[in-house]
């Protein structure tokens, strides 16, 4: 059944006249007359009594009226809901991101998103790239901020990648370190140094994955997170490799050196979405914000 019939019915019932309803609905009288006749045929009963002046609802019509109202209201609500989703007056945005991105990049972008679209419910899950992609694939997340190294390429047949930045790896040394004044160093110059490494397995992976094979760093100190690591470095206990993304601002007590371009590992940060699936509107709107949130410190 066409809901236009119900709208016509409602209007006729309200105005008590086919002719008046036709005027209001921009139809001809004959059209409305036949639409009512069609509706009556479909229901198998008369819904209006034809009076000398206009029409009046029958018992059946009176029964139908609230249903027609409810159906049309719900239809309008459906349109509104879909439209709200489209214009970001409703909906949700579930971001998944790897730990380093959660330090600053993703929170900044999420904050900007929430400011722009306060009615969209945002949520954030932290995890390692393979897990994030799995969540994305199962629909538990709408977008995943992931890192890709040559060692672990991402299946682009399953995921659409939006490149955010190429991550820079910095060498943190104490201000009194012999290389503290340098802008750029080569890895070979650090063979004699002791490294402060993270205790987390992820950091192991980072170090191993990031550095050229054959380079065997000396590790004397293990610190859990970036803040502790930087403390050790500042105290001159060793040097550390720090992803630029982990630096929320330039620290005062350590020097940050860039690696020579040939030594720098290539870790590309992407926002990933499910391939073949149209991203929810919130994701489409979120991606540009991720790029706008970039700090010049982070990428080369």
Cβ proximity to DNA, 38 vs 184, nearer residue: 38
- Residues forming contacts to DNA in the complex (CB under 7 A) are 2, 4, 17-20, 26-31, 33-38, 50, 52-55, 157
Q: How many residues bind a second copy (CB under 8 A)?
A: 38
Q: Are 7 and 72 in contact (CB under 8 A)?
A: yes
Residue where the block lists tokens 């890192």: 147
Choose the one of DNA, a second copy, none that binds residue 70, judging by a C-beta under 5 to 8 angstroms depending on kind.
a second copy
Residue 78 or 180 with smaller CB distance to a second copy:
78
In the list 37, 70, 116, 121, the residue contacting a second copy (rule: CB under 8 A) is 70
Strands (E), 98-226: 121-126, 143-148, 159-167, 169-174, 184-185, 194-198, 218-223
- Reduced to 3 states (helix: H, G, I; strand: E, B; else coil), residue 241 is strand
Q: Residue 85, Cα to own-chain centre: how many angstroms?
A: 14
Residue 60's binding partner among a second copy, DNA, none (Cβ under 5 to 8 angstroms by kind) is: a second copy
For the CB of residue 68, give the shortest distance to DNA in the complex, in Å.
Answer: 16
Does residue 227 bind a second copy (CB under 8 A)?
no
Please answer whether residues 3 and 68 qualify as being in contact, where contact means their C-beta atoms are separated by less than 8 angstroms. no
Binding partner of 44, given DNA, a second copy, none, CB within 5-8 angstroms per partner class: a second copy
Residue ranges in 39-58 that form contacts with a second copy under rule CB under 8 A: 43-46, 49-52, 56, 58
CB of 46 to DNA, least distance (A): 9
List binders of a second copy among 90-119 (CB under 8 A): 91
The span from the first CA to the last CA of the chain, in angstroms, equals: 61
CB 96 to a second copy: min, Å:
16
Q: Does 37 bind a second copy (CB under 8 A)?
A: no
- 3-state class (DSSP) for residue 129: helix
- H/E element, 64: helix 59-86
| Rounded distance between C-alpha atoms, residue 177 and residue 154, angstroms | 38
C-alpha–C-alpha distance, residues 151 and 147, integer Å: 11
User: Considering only 24-32, 79-87, 161-169, 256-264, which stretch makes contact with a second copy by CB under 8 A?
Assistant: 79-87
The phi, psi pair for 295, rounded to 5°, reads -95, 135
Cβ-based nearer residue to DNA, 58 or 285: 58
Stretch in the footprint of a second copy (CB under 8 A) among 204-212, 216-224, 270-278, 285-293: 270-278
Compute the distance between CA of residue 89 and CA of residue 282 in angstroms, rounded to an integer: 10
Closest CA to 254 of 225, 218, 229: 229
Residues that bind a second copy (CB under 8 A): 1-4, 43-46, 49-52, 56, 58-60, 63-64, 67-68, 70-71, 74-75, 77-79, 81-83, 85-86, 91, 276-278, 280-281
């Amino acid at each position: 059944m066409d809901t236009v019939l119900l709208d016509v019915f409602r209007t006729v019932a309200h105005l008590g006249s086919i002719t008046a309803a036709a005027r209001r609905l921009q139809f001809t009288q004959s059209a409305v007359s036949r639409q009512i006749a069609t509706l009556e045929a479909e229901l198998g009963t008369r819904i209006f009594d034809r009076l000398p002046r206009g029409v009046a609802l029958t018992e059946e019509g009176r029964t139908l009226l609230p249903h027609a109202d409810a159906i049309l209201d719900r239809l309008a609500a459906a349109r509104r809901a879909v439209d709200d989703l489209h214009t970001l007056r409703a909906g949700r945005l579930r971001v998944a991101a790897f730990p380093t991105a959660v330090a600053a990049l993703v929170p900044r972008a999420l904050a900007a998103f929430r400011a722009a679209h306060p009615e969209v419910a945002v949520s954030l899950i932290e995890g390692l790239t393979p897990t994030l992609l799995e969540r994305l694939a199962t629909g538990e997340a709408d977008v995943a901020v992931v890192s890709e190294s040559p060692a672990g390429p991402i299946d682009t047949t399953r995921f659409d990648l939006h490149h955010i930045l190429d991550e820079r790896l910095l060498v943190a040394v104490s201000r009194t370190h012999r290389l503290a004044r340098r802008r750029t160093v080569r890895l070979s110059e650090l063979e004699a140094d002791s490294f402060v490494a993270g205790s987390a397995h992820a950091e192991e992976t980072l170090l191993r994955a990031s550095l050229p094979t054959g380079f065997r760093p000396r590790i004397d100190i293990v610190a859990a997170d970036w803040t502790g690591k930087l403390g050790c470095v500042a105290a001159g206990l060793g040097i550390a490799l720090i992803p630029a993304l982990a630096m929320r601002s330039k620290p005062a007590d350590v020097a940050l050196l860039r690696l020579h371009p040939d030594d720098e590992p290539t870790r590309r940060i992407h926002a990933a979405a499910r391939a073949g699936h149209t991203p929810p509107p919130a994701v489409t709107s979120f991606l540009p914000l991720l790029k706008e949130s970039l700090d010049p410190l982070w990428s080369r």
